[in-house]
Chain A
Amino acid sequence: MDDFIVAGKHYSSRLLVGTGKYKDFNETRAAIEASGAQIITIAIRRTNIGQNPNEPSLLDVLPPSHYTLLPNTAGCYSAEEAIRTLRLARELLDGHSLVKLEVLGDPRTLFPNVVETIKAAEILVKENFQVMVYTSDDPIIAKQLEEIGCVAIMPLASLIGSGMGILNPWNLQIIIDNSQIPVLVDAGVGTASDAAIAMELGCDGVLMNTAIAAAQNPIMMASAMRKAVEAGREAYLAGRMTKKTYSASPSSPSEGILPVQPK
């Protein structure tokens, strides 16, 4: 079995998905089912006081008994805010310790603040959180986060929600080659081929939200992403042919070709 293993737990799916930006909970549930994802990210926010208490909540639709929930720190701009959010998440989810850390640096680009990310990771690891960490595609920072004790490194492929795809496969490759822990592309995937490319590079998984939620047909895109991640993984395991720059090689035998007829 080619399981994805993170923090000691086995998963058959290498596609992790977010739960934001969907039209309603029905669409959220249908898309997540179609994606086959087993690990799904959630956000922690103030409860809306005075709303109808009978209104279903996200965790009614996506119960922790069916999915591994990955609370994130989206919207946090300092180590302190991120740590506070994840402590609340742990209380909310009865001691659950697997989390996604992201500390943002700038609201326009949502680029990660790696200095604050490292600070937060150090404290969270000491508090026994299992930290999957969103970061830039800087291989040195990725290595430092691994050394701190994070359980997965999640570099961006391009900006969050941009759908720009994999802009720097070379850096991702260095991070993958250097890492002893899972590497997942988190952010920037726009369509199925992007997810496949990430997996072909040797990523252990891909995390995405907008690429599915903002598709014209999110449920069909979720299914496409599932296949793309599987196809990319198989291609990686199969080992691609060597590229032959400027030198073609025919696929059909060169012997027995009919002779050129004299004119």
Chain B
Amino acid sequence: MLQVTINGQPHHFDNPLSLQQLLEHMSIQNKRIAVERNGEIVPRSQFTLQTLSDGDQLEIVVAVGGG
């Protein structure tokens, strides 16, 4: 059992997974996003290489309208 906090909300996973698998699970792997893991930006090239750990804090951001 794995608990990962994504944008402030706790999410539970039964099996270990990579960041890329998480994004696919959320159906946002093709979106233009940026990811911060425990305060550090994860470059896109690292998505498949980084396996999530219990207690990870993720922030996933997008561009929205703003002034």
| A contact set with B: CB distance below 8 Å | 18-22, 28, 41-47, 49-50, 53, 57-59, 69, 71-72, 74, 84, 87-89, 91-93, 160-161, 208-210, 213
Which one of A42, A92, A208 lies within 8 Å of B66 (CB-CB)? Answer: A42
Specify the main secondary structure of chain A where it touches its partner: mixed
Extra contacts besides A49-B60, A161-B67 (15): CB < 8 Å: A21-B65, A42-B66, A44-B64, A46-B7, A46-B59, A46-B60, A46-B61, A47-B7, A47-B62, A53-B27, A72-B67, A88-B34, A89-B63, A91-B41, A92-B34
Query: Do residues B64 and A42 form an inter-chain contact, with CB atoms below 8 A?
Result: yes
Query: Do residues B7 and A49 form an inter-chain contact, with CB atoms below 8 A?
Result: yes
Per-residue contact bits, chain B 1-42, to A (CB 8 Å; 1 contact, 0 not): 000001111000000000000000011100111111000010
Which size class do B's interface residues fall under? 20 to 34
Question: Can you show 23 pairs from A to B with CB atoms below 8 A apart?
Answer: A18-B66, A19-B67, A21-B67, A42-B66, A43-B67, A45-B62, A45-B64, A46-B62, A47-B28, A47-B31, A47-B33, A49-B6, A49-B7, A49-B60, A57-B62, A74-B67, A84-B36, A88-B41, A91-B34, A91-B35, A92-B32, A160-B67, A161-B67
Query: Do residues B65 and A22 form an inter-chain contact, with CB atoms below 8 A?
Result: yes
A72 to chain B, nearest CB (A): 6
